[in-house]
């Protein structure tokens, strides 16, 4: 037989839920974007004024209500445990409209939800800067949906459905598979590049190179334009990175303008093929080898 967890105010999520439930019974619990400690104190004060038996009844009622009205942690773990998924799910919901979550125009009007900013209406306008903050806002969004847990489960299933069609990192279908999460220089450059492009990035605030890696992936994925336009963007994006690396490589080199005997060039070409290097690389190798030989004998 399942054992109910004892009543606790350790969870910020449960504190906010309990506050709203108690307010239905005439409580005046502060809730919203305030410091959760104020909400917790209000709940403790409210329950502390009840007789012991009545308090226990209220605690049991609140625990049962949370189980019935909130998605469980187990149902949400697949988002929490996958960093890429967590970034993507947040971006997906951030861009959602009432129709995305199954609300008609009439329902949205009835519930006073803006047709273009449903996420901000329910969660607020604060921009998260890491995975934990994004996950917190995802859960808050699902908890705050006006038509309760059935709507939360519906939206949850939509997130799963759309996420299933996303290419996994590094797979053949991943258009950004050349982007390396551990390459800090590349991730920082990619974020600067995409942030200065036509792709909307104002909703993201990544502070680390790893977060920038995921934000680049998500911003591109959720960019709602024709596939051909996205393909052209990727081609230019990758070309810009290749050109950057080429310029950096060339910055340490100098131009050598000289003439060489045709026969000598043929031999140089054959030697390059044998050593599997370019002719300019072979020239550098031969110069370094000869320099070392002379240095050891005369210097």
Confidence category of residue 33, pLDDT binned at 50, 70, 90: low
**Nearest Cα to 76, choosing from 85, 65, 66, 63?**
85
85-109 exposure pattern, b = at least 16 Cβ within 10 A, e = fewer: bbbbbbbbbbbbebebbebeeebbe
Over the chain, what is the mean pLDDT? 85
Per-residue confidence (pLDDT) for residue 99, from 0 to 100: 74
State mean pLDDT over 109-131. Answer: 73
**pLDDT over 90 percentage in the chain:** 34
241-298 pLDDT tens trace: 999 887 877 766 677 777 788 888 888 888 888 888 888 778 888 888 777 778 777 7
- Single pTM value for the model: 0.75
Confidence category of residue 106, pLDDT binned at 50, 70, 90: low
177-210 pLDDT tens trace: 999 999 999 999 999 999 999 999 888 889 899 9
Per-residue confidence (pLDDT) for residue 2, from 0 to 100: 45
Alpha-carbon separation of residue 143 from 14, 45, 77, 80, 176 (angstroms): 10, 24, 15, 16, 33
Report DSSP state, residue 298: H
36-79 pLDDT tens trace: 888 888 888 888 888 999 999 989 999 999 999 999 999 999 99
State mean pLDDT over 157-186. Answer: 89
């Amino acid at each position: 037989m399942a054992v109910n967890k004892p009543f606790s105010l350790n969870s910020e999520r449960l504190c906010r839920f309990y506050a709203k439930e108690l307010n239905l019974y005439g409580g005046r619990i502060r809730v919203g974007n305030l410091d959760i400690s104020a909400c917790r104190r209000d709940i403790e004060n409210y329950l502390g004024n009840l007789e012991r038996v009545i308090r226990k009844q209220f605690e049991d009622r609140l625990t049962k209500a949370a189980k019935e009205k909130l998605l469980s942690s187990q149902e949400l773990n697949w988002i929490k445990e996958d960093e890429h998924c967590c970034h993507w799910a947040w971006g997906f919901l951030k861009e959602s409209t009432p129709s995305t979550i199954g609300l008609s125009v009439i329902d949205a009007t009835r519930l006073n939800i803006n047709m273009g900013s449903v996420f901000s209406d329910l969660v607020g306008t604060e921009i998260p800067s890491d995975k934990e903050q994004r996950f917190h806002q995802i859960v808050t969004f699902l908890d705050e949906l006006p038509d309760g847990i059935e709507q939360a489960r519906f939206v949850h299933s939509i997130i799963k459905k759309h996420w299933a069609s996303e290419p996994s990192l590094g797979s053949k279908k991943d258009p950004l598979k050349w982007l390396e999460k551990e390459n800090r220089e590349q991730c920082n450059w990619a974020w600067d590049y995409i942030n200065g492009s036509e792709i909307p990035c104002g909703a993201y605030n990544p502070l680390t190179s790893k977060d920038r890696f995921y934000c680049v992936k998500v911003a591109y994925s959720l960019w709602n334009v024709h596939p051909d336009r996205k393909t052209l963007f990727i081609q230019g994006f990758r070309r810009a990175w290749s050109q950057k690396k080429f310029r950096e490589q060339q910055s340490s080199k100098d131009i050598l303008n000289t003439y060489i005997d045709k026969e000598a060039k043929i031999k140089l070409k054959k030697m390059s093929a044998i050593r599997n290097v370019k002719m300019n690389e072979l020239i550098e190798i031969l110069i370094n080898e000869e320099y070392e030989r002379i240095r050891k004998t005369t210097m």
